[in-house]
């Protein structure tokens, strides 16, 4: 999800008049005023309302540097650090021409920061800002000021609790970055910029903490003002793709048709908690089964009025198809042509003439048939036996596939070195059960197979009977739910089975 000037582009329509509030923002002091004089506060408000004039003097210099470090900019937005952290345009106009009266209050915070609250009683409007030495600060900068920072090649990981992070997920993000950078054809100079400046990856403990830092209820956000990924997912590839696409473009309009904006992020990065292959497969299944028609999402209204559980997978599958058919340069040209002001984008419909023939789309959808990450399979004698116990049976079908039978739930790969690491997905799935550093969770039932990587907390493979034509239930033989799975999903399964045998 991307937040722009108080609007979220996440497949949900948002009112044009937005109150900029940082929820649960501050533990205020007991009635003391911050030492900014009333004159400086009035000057700040005047500068905000005037827009481009003299704002540099009212923005924290560290945040000005932060917002410009990757060279990402937006048309008509000279002060990027104010994106989603500004006064509403109608309020500015009202204050400028004297129609609106306002009141301000400053309250001290920790570490020399202060909170500024501006209210317009006549319209019940309130906006909150955070200041340092009288200058505007991106709120997330205040909240993470004392968090721990760990560098990798291309990332600066910022965490309050290091137990929430593990070396495996850090490495997976680096691997994903390399893949996405290659797909987006980032130049050596661009790669060097990211290596030097780092992508700030702020890992929160839960959605409430994401809300605290950003002011928006979400599990993860690409914050345009700071170019930070702020998330409670250990490997939030989707938001990283948003950043990298904007980095590739350099300068672009602030708004883009959400079908393309969210679609490319899903195609390359999945959606929070689901790997890209999983959600793209789902999108292809939705289209192939006739449960949804991608053309219904080509208009702006069609996309934002469709539930994200449909619009995101379907747009992701189609944008993956577009990348295959058009190539990157032509896709990015379409992306730019589908960008503009908020009012322009809200009226947009993707034109069929700019898109590949519908026959090619149907062929793309058909290519998934019989070629999913997981396929139903019921023959226990198929392939070469590798492992068997009361909970799990595994055989090797060929160089690319395993045949697996699961009684109910199987945990694989306990690693004592990661026993102190906290898997949020393990907690969600198993409640108070003690986590022992397991890597994979295989969960089987009559209507669904789920495979999770607990080191990233992502769903890495999924079979849902209702999305497979003609499949009424998962095959069940000898008290095992049986399926076939690509080896690439569980690349270290053989090693984990050998360790399981020794337990």
Q: Domain boundaries in the chain?
A: 2-139, 271-369, 374-502
Per-residue pLDDT at 52: 63
For residue 25, give the DSSP letter: -
Share of the chain above pLDDT 90, in %: 74
Residue-wise burial string across 103-130, b where 16 or more C-beta atoms lie within 10 A, e elsewhere: ebebbbbeeebbbbbbbbeeeebebbbb
Which residues have CB under 8 Å from 444's CB, separation 6+? Answer: 406, 407, 408, 409, 450, 474, 481, 483
User: What's the CA gap between 118 and 101, in Å, rounded?
Assistant: 10
Q: How confident is the model at residue 196 (pLDDT cuts 50, 70, 90)?
A: very high
Q: How confident is the model at residue 352 (pLDDT cuts 50, 70, 90)?
A: confident
pLDDT digits (tens, 9 = 90+) for 236-268: 999 999 999 999 999 999 999 999 999 999 999
**Average pLDDT score over residue span 152-167:** 93
Q: How confident is the model at residue 34 (pLDDT cuts 50, 70, 90)?
A: very low
User: What's the CA gap between 208 and 141, in Å, rounded?
Assistant: 17
Which has the closest alpha carbon to 214: 117, 84, 127?
84
**Average pLDDT score over residue span 71-87:** 93
Per-residue pLDDT at 39: 58
Query: Residue 139 belongs to what H/E stretch?
Result: helix 139-143
Cβ atoms within 10 Å of 407's Cβ, excluding its own? 16
DSSP string, 479-494: TEEEEEEEGGGSTTHH
pLDDT digits (tens, 9 = 90+) for 6-17: 444 443 333 333
- On average, the pLDDT of the chain sits at 89
Do 39 and 118 form a contact (C-beta atoms < 8 A)?
no
pLDDT digits (tens, 9 = 90+) for 456-493: 999 999 999 988 888 999 999 999 999 999 999 999 99
Beta strands in 88-124 (DSSP E): 103-108, 113-120
Instruction: Give the sign of the dihedral formed by CA 44, CA 50, CA 53, CA 55.
Output: positive
How far from 64 is each of 14, 135, 275, CA to CA, in Å? Answer: 28, 11, 34
pLDDT digits (tens, 9 = 90+) for 413-455: 887 777 778 889 999 999 988 888 899 999 999 999 999 999 9
Cβ atoms within 10 Å of 422's Cβ, excluding its own? 15
Per-residue pLDDT at 355: 95
0.75 exceeded by pTM: yes
């Amino acid at each position: 999800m991307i937040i722009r000037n108080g609007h979220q582009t996440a497949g949900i329509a948002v009112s044009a008049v937005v109150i900029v509030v940082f929820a649960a923002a501050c533990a205020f002091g007991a009635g003391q005023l911050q030492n900014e004089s009333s004159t400086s506060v009035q000057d700040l408000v005047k500068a905000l309302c005037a827009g481009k004039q003299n704002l540099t003097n009212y923005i924290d210099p560290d945040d000005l540097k932060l917002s410009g470090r990757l060279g990402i900019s937006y048309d008509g937005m000279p002060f990027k650090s104010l994106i989603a952290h500004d006064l509403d345009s109608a309020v500015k106009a009202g204050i400028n021409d004297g129609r609106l009266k306002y009141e301000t209050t400053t309250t001290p915070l920790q570490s020399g920061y202060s909170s500024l609250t501006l209210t317009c009683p006549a319209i019940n409007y309130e906006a909150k800002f955070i200041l340092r030495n009288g200058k505007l600060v991106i709120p997330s900068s205040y909240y993470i000021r004392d968090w721990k920072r760990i560098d990798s090649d291309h990332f600066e990981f910022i965490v309050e609790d290091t137990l929430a992070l593990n070396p495996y997920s850090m490495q997976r993000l680096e691997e994903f970055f390399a893949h996405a950078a290659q797909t987006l054809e980032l130049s050596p100079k661009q790669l060097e910029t990211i290596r030097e400046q780092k992508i700030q990856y702020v890992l929160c403990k839960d959605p409430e903490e994401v809300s605290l830092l950003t002011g928006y209820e979400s599990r993860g956000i690409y914050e345009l003002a700071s170019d930070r990924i702020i998330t409670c997912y250990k490997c939030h590839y989707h938001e990283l793709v948003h950043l990298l696409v904007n980095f590739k473009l350099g300068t672009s309009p602030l708004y883009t048709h959400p079908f393309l904006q969210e679609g490319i992020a899903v195609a390359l990065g999945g959606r929070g908690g689901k790997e890209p292959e999983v959600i793209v497969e789902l999108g292809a299944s939705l289209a192939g089964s006739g449960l949804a028609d991608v053309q219904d999402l080509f208009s702006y209204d069609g996309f934002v009025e469709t539930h994200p559980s449909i619009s995101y997978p379907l747009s992701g599958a189609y944008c993956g198809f577009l990348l295959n058919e058009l190539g990157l340069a032509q896709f990015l040209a379409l992306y730019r042509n589908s960008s503009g002001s908020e009012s322009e984008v809200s009226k947009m419909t993707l034109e069929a003439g700019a898109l590949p023939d519908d026959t090619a789309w149907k062929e793309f959808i058909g290519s998934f048939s019989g070629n999913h990450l997981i396929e139903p399979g019921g023959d226990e004698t198929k392939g070469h036996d590798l492992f068997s116990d009361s909970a799990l049976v595994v055989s090797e079908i060929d160089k690319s596939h395993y045949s697996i039978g699961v009684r109910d739930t199987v945990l694989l790969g306990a690693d004592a070195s990661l026993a102190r690491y906290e898997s949020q997905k393990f907690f969600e799935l198993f409640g108070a059960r003690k986590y022992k550093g397991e890597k994979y969770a295989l969960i089987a039932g009559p209507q669904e197979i789920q495979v999770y990587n607990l080191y990233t907390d992502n769903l890495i493979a999924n079979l849902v009977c209702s999305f497979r034509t003609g499949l009424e239930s998962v095959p069940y033989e000898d008290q095992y739910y049986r399926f076939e799975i690509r080896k690439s999903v569980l690349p270290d399964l053989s090693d984990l089975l050998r360790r399981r045998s020794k337990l």
